[in-house]
Structure 1
Amino acid sequence: MNIGVDEAVPVGATSSGMATPPLSDPVPQTRSTATSQITSTATPHRVPRRRPSRRMRREALLFLAFVAPNAILIALFVYRPFFLNIYYSALDWTLGSANATWVGLQNYVEFFTRDAGTVLTTTLIFTVATVGFSMLIGLGLAVVLNRQLVGRNVARAVVFAPYVLSGVGIGMVWMFIFDPVTGVLSAVLRGMHLPVPQWFNNPHLALVMVIIVYVWKNLGYCAVIYLAALQGIPRDLLEAAALDGASRRRTFRSVVWPLLSPTTFFLTLTTMLSSLQAFDIIKIMTPLGQGTSTLMYSSYIQAFGTYNRAGYSAAQSTVLVVILLILTVIQMRFLERRVHYS
């Protein structure tokens, strides 16, 4: 049978007239399979929460048993006095009196408008001088003690000994040395026909005297720390620099000093904090604070000296704490970037 031109073959039929089954579309099946896989993958499986075992609970209780006493003591004797000091700084309070008046920030305003210039300048000079000279002389002693010398161990002990001595005893001994009448230094100067300085009456000389004593006390600490760092430098690096023809000065500047940067950073931080809190030597040698009233000692004089102003002293102590925190953050954030740990 012939099919005309105008006749059309129905969909699903062939020229022989037999129907064929429609072709199935594979795309929807694939999409549905992928969707089911995504759905099954995206659905998280809930992991049953495990209860802490008896051993874990016992370890936690043991940890608290060890930590709790120390935490309680720190809270009572560190944090509680700190916050009480901030509260007292806002009071006009005489030590030993039951009457206290709330003055707000008046103590801080009085400090920054009257005493801050002299006290902060003295603190800055004392801190920079003691930190700088202690580290510089300590490094020189460490370089000398690092060599193969006779009696090296005895010399190390002698250098480090002043650091472990009492600051009160050191102050009393050096007062006898600097005494303008019976002092050892005065006798030496008279023997050389030189004028004897009035160390205790001149504010500038009193500050120099205290700086000398404080540097003498702390340089042993810097020397021992630097000596340990020098002994930790690999000998291969020093031998390689010597084979390249580098001089001792060049080797120290290019090899040794960069490797000492972690130690220098550590000593700068610790000696600075120690100098800002210096008290005992200043109290013994210059009890009236003539020219040596650092921020730490000035707060002591205001509270326990002739002024007896506990609120004003608390304000100065709070300023000191803020300065310590700021300097510590600056050193940890910026100076540590220049430290070479390898």
Structure 2
Amino acid sequence: MRWSSIRPYAMISPAILVFCLFFIYPICYMVYLSLVDWNFVSPVKNFVGFDNFQALLSEQQFIEVMRNTMTYTFLTVSLTIIISLVLAVWLNKQGAVYGFVQGAIFSPHIISLVSISMLWMWLMDTDYGLLNWFLNLFGISNVPWLSDPGTSLLSLVIVAVWKGIGYNTLIFIAGLQSIPRDIYEAAALDDTSKMRTFIKLTLPMLSPTLFFITIINLISSFQVFETIAIMTQGGPINSTNTFVYYIYEFGFRFFKIGYASAAGVILLIIISILTLMYFRILSRRVHYR
């Protein structure tokens, strides 16, 4: 066999090896662990088949975790995209003020989630938090942001949106700046309103960017962990418990590795199905210039 025929495979082999070692193998091992009963300490792994999945799907707490995750994902993704798009349209201009605002709203993206979670825990403190102090100025009583099941999940959504809008706004601005100017000049000659221009021209031309941002926000929202682990620990009354924290809790606190791995497999299946549906349904509506 000539070297020229195997050289492409040799050049990509390091990347393939890393991919198999750190992505494919962990997934396969997780699937295997989901079929056994193991406490993470004993060398003995008892094969139980699909018992972990059966116990998981019949657990009321897991149903609540799925509902919390879906609610959190929907609110976070939709609010982040809407706010980021509005900010991008406003900031897509030249000027020192707009450049400063872009840098200001992007700064939360480069701060660690641990620091952000600690900051927002102080801001949302029921008795001494800055948010309640501000609300008190308008005669509004203290809001139990993190200690009430009715507001705790929404509080985490606020933190996620605050951190995510900067990155998404800059991506949207990059997409807006790639749209040819002559399209808007032609619309102006036709005396097209700004709203109609935005709906009929800007959004279709921005669809590849919107497609990309939606999918990465969808996946990252399903994998939320740090803010929950630091701010609420899944409470109060399981109101903020989501998939990844649930997996961590049963795997590394209760040492039910098989049970936690079964939850991980279900999370993998859900994300894969949603991603496949997203690509199948919306990829045809993406306009590539």
Provide TM-score, normalisation by structure 1: 0.79
How far apart, in 2, do the equivalents of 1:77 and 1:255 lie?
A: 42
How far apart, in 2, do the equivalents of 1:109 and 1:276 lie?
A: 22
How far apart, in 1, do the equivalents of 2:98 and 2:135 lie?
A: 32
Query: Is residue 219 of structure 1 aligned with residue 165 of structure 2?
Result: yes
Which among 324, 330, 336 is matched to residue 271 of structure 2? Answer: 324
Give 1:178 deviation, angstroms. 0.4
Matches within 5 A, 1:86-165: 86-114=31-59, 115-165=61-111
Give 1:258 deviation, angstroms. 1.1
Cα 1:289–1:90 change in 2 (3 A) is: farther
Query: What SS does the corresponding residue of 2:192 show, helix, strand or coil?
Result: coil
Query: What SS does the corresponding residue of 1:193 show, helix, strand or coil?
Result: coil
Q: Does structure 1 conserve the Cα–Cα contact (< 8 Å) formed by 2:233 and 2:241?
A: no
1:91-143: CA deviations, max 9, x gaps?
A: 22223233432211111111112144211111110111111001000000000
Using the TM superposition, name which of 313-322 and 75-84 deviates more: 75-84
Query: What SS does the corresponding residue of 1:201 show, helix, strand or coil?
Result: coil
Cα 1:193–1:318 change in 2 (3 A) is: same
Q: Does structure 1 conserve the Cα–Cα contact (< 8 Å) formed by 2:234 and 2:245?
A: no
Query: What SS does the corresponding residue of 1:334 show, helix, strand or coil?
Result: helix
Which among 1, 18, 26 is matched to residue 81 of structure 1? Answer: 26
Q: Does structure 1 conserve the Cα–Cα contact (< 8 Å) formed by 2:76 and 2:161?
A: yes
How far apart, in 2, do the equivalents of 1:133 and 1:330 lie?
A: 21
Using the TM superposition, name which of 89-98 and 221-230 deviates more: 89-98
How far apart, in 2, do the equivalents of 1:148 and 1:61 lie?
A: 48
Which among 232, 239, 242 is matched to residue 185 of structure 2? Answer: 239
Give 1:246 deviation, angstroms. 1.0
Query: What SS does the corresponding residue of 1:194 show, helix, strand or coil?
Result: coil
Q: What is the count of residue pairs matched by the alignment?
A: 286
Q: Does structure 2 conserve the Cα–Cα contact (< 8 Å) formed by 1:283 and 1:289?
A: no
How far apart, in 1, do the equivalents of 2:96 and 2:84 lie?
A: 20
Provide TM-score, normalisation by structure 2: 0.92
How far apart, in 2, do the equivalents of 1:227 and 1:150 lie?
A: 16
Matches within 5 A, 1:249-260: 249-260=195-206
How far apart, in 2, do the equivalents of 1:288 and 1:136 lie?
A: 27
Query: Is residue 185 of structure 1 aligned with residue 96 of structure 2?
Result: no
Matches within 5 A, 1:255-274: 255-274=201-220
How far apart, in 1, do the equivalents of 2:148 and 2:40 lie?
A: 31
Give the letter for the 2:266 counterpart.
V
Using the TM superposition, name which of 117-126 and 145-154 deviates more: 145-154
Tell which structure's C-alpha radius of gyration is larger: 1
How far apart, in 2, do the equivalents of 1:62 and 1:325 lie?
A: 30
Matches within 5 A, 1:3-14: none
Residue of structure 2 in register with 1:315 after alignment: 262
Cα 1:244–1:297 change in 2 (3 A) is: same
Cα 1:169–1:99 change in 2 (3 A) is: same
How far apart, in 1, do the equivalents of 2:251 and 2:150 lie?
A: 24
Larger helix share, 1 or 2: 2
Where do 5+ consecutive residues of structure 1 fail to align?
Answer: 1-50
Give 1:190 deviation, angstroms. 2.9
Query: What SS does the corresponding residue of 2:141 show, helix, strand or coil?
Result: coil
Where do 5+ consecutive residues of structure 2 fail to align?
Answer: none
Q: Does structure 2 conserve the Cα–Cα contact (< 8 Å) formed by 1:230 and 1:260?
A: yes
Give 1:63 deviation, angstroms. 5.5
Residue of structure 1 in register with 2:121 after alignment: 175
Q: Does structure 2 conserve the Cα–Cα contact (< 8 Å) formed by 1:142 and 1:223?
A: yes
Give 1:209 deviation, angstroms. 0.5
1:25-59: CA deviations, max 9, x gaps?
A: xxxxxxxxxxxxxxxxxxxxxxxxxx73x6x27xx
The sequence identity of aligned pairs, in percent, is: 36
